[in-house]
Structure 1
Amino acid sequence: MIQNVQILPRNEAYWQDNEWKKLLSTAIRDPNELLRLLELDIAELPYQLDKDQSFKTLVPLSFVERMQKTDPSDPLLLQVLPLSEESIRVSGYSNDPLGESTALAQTGMAGLLHKYQSRVLFMLATHCAVNCRYCFRREFPYQENRASKQDWHQLATYLKKNPQINEVIISGGDPLAVNDAYLVEFVAFIEQIPQIIRLRIHTRLPVVIPQRVTSKLLSLTKSRLQMVMVMHVNHPNEIDDKFTSAMHKLAQAGFTLLNQSTLLKGINDCPKILSELSEVLFSAKVTPYYLHMLDRVNGAAHFAVSNKDANVIYKQLQANLAGFLVPKLVQEKSGEPNKTLVDLTI
């Protein structure tokens, strides 16, 4: 006989803290469905879709809602839509443009990169909320580099053997794709290592799903660690009221908020667009930090902007904006001990 069991109702805070998971679970995974939602006829597009799609389509509806219907050149759409150009192999491009396989081998630990002297990067997650077509890790072998909770002690050992390290950067994938309990536990673990003073989170999830900014995420600032969150926003159209509200909550909680963008042909390779991006980011309490040249990963060559064109754009950006709104124009080079500033004399 089944006895009556009292089921306690979940409160509003529970639903608010878990809404992002539902939004992630309903993300679009079919480019044809994405086009249908935007009222675009595939037969009338000025480009062709990639039929192979070794790098799958993934885009949350909350990001799709910011795209302009009937516009095949929408800058948000072009960041996530797989095009036939992705199958073209271009000289100088590779599956591992930053030499991360070598860096991983040097640490001897799954998901741990130590490219820069005072900081390490740890891949806390192996998946994202959105698959950006220009991603330098689009060909990364995540299954071979999946770090689990059992690996954390190995991470701690590595940090203690390298006392010059004072910052842990969590990346992936997207580190905010893990649940809050896992994230809180990881922060508590890192907090126990005295030499670490700062935790940096690189993420695009609050951009595409602002509801990811939950009460538990905000509570991370109670840690003794300095908390830095670096957003990945490329175009002002990505910023809406929900994103701005989420950033205000993070800033009020005590996060230092930065942004890094990638300079992308046909999307933001324009001083006016980049100037507007810096202004709206700063209004949302996010400081423009880096403007990256494209990492030369296979499948992304059609996004490349030449150094010559980048210099013209950047000089105009400097003329348009106050100095604190101008991100550094940089390129990451395999084996270098730091990001390389792009030479503006070219």
Structure 2
Amino acid sequence: MDWAQLDWKQELANNVVTIDQLKEHARLAPEEEAKLREVAQLHPINIPRYYLSLIDWSDPGDPIRRMCFPGAEELVVAGAMGETTADPYGDDKHDKGNGVLHKYDYTALVVVTECCAMHCRHCFRRRIVGKPGGQAPRDFSGALRYIAAHPEINNVILSGGDPLMLSTPALRTMLEGLAEIGHVDFVRIGTRTPVTYPLRLFDEELLGLLRAFNERKALYIPTHFNHAREITPLSTEAVRRLRLCGATVNNQAVLLRGVNDTAQDIAALMQGLLAIGVNPYYLYQCMPVSRVRHHFQIPLKKGVEIVDAARAMLNGYGKRFKYIIGHDIGKLEICGMAGNQIVLKQMHARIGHPEQASRIIMQELDDNAGWVTV
């Protein structure tokens, strides 16, 4: 299949979105099928044919399959890993309307859509993704007015969902509006599209828009590769096209059980990213998200071991990523273990709590702890 020649909008209609379609690709026992139909009501299935083509069907534990196929584990809402929440990052507390989340003085994040090319099973915003009527603004002008009225905001993140699933004219309205705000120095577009649906990046109209915007404001693209096998010739070409627009491409991965939970997995991912010109940036601890935590989260002690061992295999550029907890109080860098205590450094502080910025936090951990209470 020559994915690059397909119309990106039309190809979305070929996504696998039902259990019956899923059964065309994998055998499901009757009991499993019944459970998955229940799961699909909670977090809809949505898998592009391109991403399906990456699965090794001979391996029931294939990491690509694990990230896109629904699992009966998603019915678990409480267990040994601890409590879960639908809003682990505290989005609701910082919602200013029109999709604007203003958690840190200098950064505004705008949830611009609930749509993604694929519904990842580890999604931390699964309560809104694929479910119209969430936080996304129908009129971006309200978000622009908020940003323009807050001169302390020097950068804006377009998030979702996946902003690159919007039409190019809709993105143009957003980016041109942001380009007119003098105190906004740079813009980030958070997207997993280069990974799950790279044919979107073969749209010359989109590339022209990104190129033109980058001539006015610096453009950063945080993307989301989790496994080295997601780095394919097509995704590599998609990244190359973004870089030719002048964008800086960074990667934010999530440490996931059964996907990338060995030092070799993490090292291969970081090395692969550097080889295609993507900067390793963050490796997130899987959040305590409802219907995600109990089958994807790795205990923090084990996570530190994995990251330390991976860094020992990597060169200086490969080591630059930070192991992060995206906590309600702000981002916390996981620096390591001191005896039985985890050592954290708070990278950002919420509005109104400047004294918390850059503080060191140490906390006792038991062997199964996957999160911290601070």
Aligned to 1:6: none
- The corresponding residue for 1:163 is 151
Contact 1:50 1:85 in 2 (8 A): no
**Structure 2: 5+ residue runs without aligned partners?**
343-374
| Alpha-carbon spacing, 1:117–1:163, altered in 2? closer, same or farther (3 Å) | same
Residue 145 in structure 1 maps to residue 131 in structure 2: no
TM-score by length of 2: 0.82
Q: Residues 309 and 16 (structure 1 numbering): CA distance in 2 closer, same or farther, change over 3 Å?
A: closer
Pairing 1:311–2:311 present: no
Q: Which string of whole-angstrom CA distances, capped at 9 and with x for unpartnered residues, describes residues 156-191 of structure 1?
A: 332233211111100111100101111122111111
Which of 309, 315, 328 aligns to 2:322? It is 328
Q: Secondary structure at the match of 2:184?
A: coil
Over the residues paired in the alignment, what is the CA RMSD in angstroms? 2.2
Q: Distance in 2 between matches of 1:318 and 1:88?
A: 33
- Offset, 1:102: 1.5
Q: Distance in 1 between matches of 2:304 and 2:33?
A: 28
Q: CA deviation at 1:36?
A: 2.9
- Which structure 2 residues correspond to residues 92-111 of structure 1 after superposition, within 5 A? 92-104=83-95, 107=96, 109-111=97-99
Residues 248-297 of structure 1: CA deviation (Å, up to 9, x unaligned): 11112211000110000011011111111111111111111100001111
Matched AA of 1:322:
N
Counterpart of 1:278, as a letter, is M
Whole-angstrom distance in 1 between the partners of 2:32 and 2:302: 24
Q: SS where residue 170 of structure 2 aligns? A: helix
1:41 corresponds to 2:34: no
> 2:212 aligns to what?
222
Please state how far the C-alpha of 1:16 moved relative to its aligned partner.
Answer: 7.0
Q: Which residue of 1 aligns with 2:356?
A: none
Displacement of 1:142 after TM fit?
A: 5.2
Deviation digits for residues 319-338 of structure 1, max 9, x if unmatched?
Answer: 000122132100011132xx
The answer to whether the Cα contact below 8 Å between 2:266 and 2:307 also exists between their aligned partners in 1 is: no
TM score, norm. by length of structure 1: 0.88
Q: Tell me: CA distance 1:48–1:329, structure 2 relative to 1, closer, same or farther (3 Å).
A: farther
Task: Report the Cα offset of residue 18 of structure 1.
Answer: 7.2
Q: Which deviations, in whole Å up to 9, do the C-alpha atoms of 1:187-221 show, x marking residues without a partner?
A: 11111111111110100112111111121222222
Residues in 1 aligned to 2:189 and 2:152: alpha-carbon distance in whole angstroms: 20
Distance 1:17 1:181 in 2: 21
2:247 aligned with 1:255? yes
Change in 2 beyond 3 A, CA 1:45/1:251 = farther
The offset of 1:121, in angstroms, is: 0.5
More moved, 56-65 vs 131-140: 131-140
What do the CA deviations read for 1:304-332 (whole angstroms, capped 9, x no partner)?
Answer: 10100001001011100012213210001
Contact map agreement 2:273 2:279 (CA 8 A) in 1 = yes
CA positional deviation for 1:340: 0.5
Q: Deviations over 1:11-52 (max 9, x none)?
A: xxxx97971112212110124533532xx3223999995331
Other-structure match for 1:124 = 112
Q: Alignment identity in percent?
A: 28
Answer 1 or 2: higher relative contact order, Cα 8 Å, separation at least 6. Answer: 1
Letter in 2 for 1:300: V
Stretches of structure 1 that go unaligned for 5 or more consecutive residues are 1-14
Instruction: Identify which of 204, 214, 231 aligns with 2:192.
Output: 204
* Aligned structure 1 segments of 4 or more residues deviating by more than 4 angstroms: 15-18, 44-49
Matching residue of 2:169: 181
Q: Within 5 Å, which residues of 2 pair with 1:65-84?
A: 65-84=53-72
On the 8 A contact 1:201/1:228 being kept in 2, the answer is yes
The alignment covers a number of residue pairs equal to 323
Alignment CA distance shift 1:277-1:20 (3 Å): same
Q: Tell me if the contact between 1:50 and 1:87 (Cα under 8 Å) persists in the aligned partners.
A: no
1:62-81, CA deviations, whole angstroms, 9 ceiling, x for partnerless residues? Answer: 00001112322110111111
Show the 5 A alignment for 1:245-284.
245-284=237-276
AA at the equivalent of 1:165:
I
| Equivalent-residue separation in structure 1 for 2:266 and 2:18 (angstroms) | 30
207-216 or 167-176: which moved more? Answer: 207-216
| Cα distance in 1, alignment partners of residues 169 and 5 from structure 2 | 11
| 1:59 correspondence with 2:55 | no
Give the structure 2 partner of residue 190 of structure 1: 178
> Partners in 1 of 2:5 and 2:318 — Cα distance?
32
Give the drift of 1:239.
1.3
Is the contact made by 1:85 and 1:299 (CA closer than 8 Å) also made in structure 2? yes
Q: Do 1:48 and 1:84's aligned partners in 2 also have CA atoms closer than 8 Å?
A: no
Further displaced range: 180-189 or 15-24: 15-24
SS of corresponding position for 2:310: helix
1:169–1:202: 8 Å Cα contact kept in structure 2? yes
Partner of 1:342, secondary structure, is: strand
Could you say what secondary structure the match of 1:211 adopts?
helix
More strand by share: 2
